[in-house]
Amino acid sequence: MTTQAEDLLGARVTGADGKVVGTVEQVFRDDVDGTPAWARVRSGKTGRFVPLGSSQVTPDGLSVPFDSQKIMSGPDIDAGQHMSAAQAEELSRYYGLTVPTQQPRGKLAEDSGEMAAGQPGTGQAGQPGTGDQAGSDWLIRQEEQIQVGKEMMETGRVRLHKYVDVESIEQPVHLYREDFEIERIPISGDEQVSGNISEGVQEIVLHEERAVLRKQLVPVERVRLRTKRVEQDTTVSDQVRRERIEVEPDQQFASNRPGNQGKS
């Protein structure tokens, strides 16, 4: 990473999955050579760190070889204006980077002088050394751990649509109507009826009932959509890698060990 730290400020950070994580708000330099080593990425109110040594500057910003979930699940470190060696080591372990052995500079110089005066692999001149000497190298064994997060995603949409349907109905109703009939009553001989022969007219008005339909709008129901939370337990599965360290002595070393002399 030869880019100047000032050029990275405000750059858009994109993860290996193509998702934009946030923007660079601060760059931390390596205490040894002063090169940009870590960048704090601001995403909303959250700040996380990404390594610059394995990142690449592109025309779109800063491309990091870790997916967005890995970045946002990183350690929450309050580095202030300077990142300590312990904080840098914690981040290196999280991202699976090589972690150098932390030793005092004075001890390193002393061990270097002893190694030059004696033989390789000895603690003092001509004396065998032990595996616990401060100048020996360590192998860091790492393993992946699954961190399960949650994200809200859209699974579908449901809408209410009000239609107008026309329905034929039948309803019985009782009606009546008037009709006419002729009533004839004989006149007995005792009744005295006088008059001349002439024409006459009698008229009556007939009536009947008819059904009259009226419509009125009546509210019958309130309907709306709303979401409800359904709790469920599920199991997620994945594969993790775990490093394994074994001793593999060469044949010459194995044959020279005490107890193996004279064996064929």
Using one digit for the tens of pLDDT, what is the confidence trace for 42-76?
Answer: 888 788 899 988 888 888 888 999 998 888 888 88
| Burial class, 258, CB count within 10 angstroms (exposed 0-12 / middle 13-18 / buried 19+) | exposed
Greater pLDDT, 246 or 4: 246
pLDDT-based confidence at residue 109 (cuts at 50, 70, 90): very low
Query: Locate tokens 């339909």: which residue?
Result: 213
Q: What is the DSSP letter of 261?
A: T
Greater pLDDT, 168 or 43: 168
pLDDT score of 104 = 43
Residue 16 has pLDDT above 60, yes or no: yes
pLDDT score of 33 = 80
* Residues 45, 25 contacting (CB under 8 angstroms): no
What ranges do the domains of the chain cover?
A: 5-84
- State how beta strands 122-124 and 61-63 pair: unpaired
pLDDT score of 136 = 64
CA distance 25 to 10: 6
Give the chain's largest Cα–Cα span: 174
CA distance 101 to 55: 23
Q: Comparing 65-69, 103-107, 166-170, which segment has the lowest mean pLDDT?
A: 103-107
Q: CATH number for the 5-84 domain, one of 2.102.10.10, 3.40.640.10, 3.90.50.10, 3.30.750.24? A: 3.90.50.10
* Identity at 105, one-letter amino acid code: R
